[in-house]
Amino acid sequence: MFLRRFAALAVLACGAAHAFSLDELTTRALALAAQPYVALQSNLPPAFSQMQFADYQKIQPLRERFEWAGLDTPFKLAFYHQGMQFAAPVQINEIVGAQGSEAVQEIRYDPARFDFGDLAFDKQATSALGYAGFRVLYPVNQPGKDDEVMSLLGASYFRVIGKGQVYGLSSRGLAIDTAQPGPEEFPRFREFWIRRPAPQDRQLTIYALLDSPRATGAYEFTLTPGSDALLDVKARIFLRGDIRTLGVAPLTSMFLFGPSQPAAQHNFRPAIHDSNGLAIHTGGGEWIWRPLNNPPMLSISSFQADSPKGFGLLQRGREFSRFEDLKDRYDLRPSAWVEPRGDWGRGRVTLVEIPTPDETNDNIVAFWSPDALPAPGDPLQLDYRMHWTMDEPALFGDDTAWVRQTLRATGERYQPNLVRQSDGSIALMVDFEGPSLARLTPDAAVSARYSGNANADILGSSLQYHPAIRGWRLTLRVKVKEATQVAELRAALAGPDGAALSETWSYQLPPLPPQATPGVVLPGAAASPGP
Range list of β-strands (E), 272-416: 272-273, 277-281, 287-291, 299-304, 310-314, 335-341, 347-353, 364-370, 380-389, 402-414
Cite the DSSP H helix spans in 201-268.
none
Q: Chunked in runs of 10, what are the mean pLDDT values of the chain (531 residues)? A: 40 48 96 95 92 94 94 96 95 88 92 92 84 97 94 97 97 94 92 96 97 97 97 97 95 97 92 98 96 96 97 96 97 98 97 96 97 92 97 90 96 70 88 95 95 96 97 97 96 92 96 65 31 25
Q: Please give the pLDDT value at position 497.
A: 87
Are 438 and 470 contacting, i.e. CB atoms less than 8 angstroms apart? yes
Question: Residue 317: what are its φ and ψ, rounded to 5°?
Answer: 100, 105
Which residues have a Cβ under 8 Å from the Cβ of 244 and sit 6 or more positions away? 177, 180
Alpha-helical (H) ranges within 396-502 are 435-438
Please give the model's pTM, rounded to 2 decimal places.
0.91
CB atoms within 10 A of CB 474: 25
Pairing of strands 91-96, 447-452: unpaired
- Sequence length of the chain is 531
In angstroms, the CA 158 to CA 262 distance is: 30
Domains along the sequence of the chain with CATH = 139-395 (2.70.98.10), 402-509 (2.60.40.10)
Q: How far is CA 44 from CA 53, 93, 117, in A?
A: 15, 22, 19
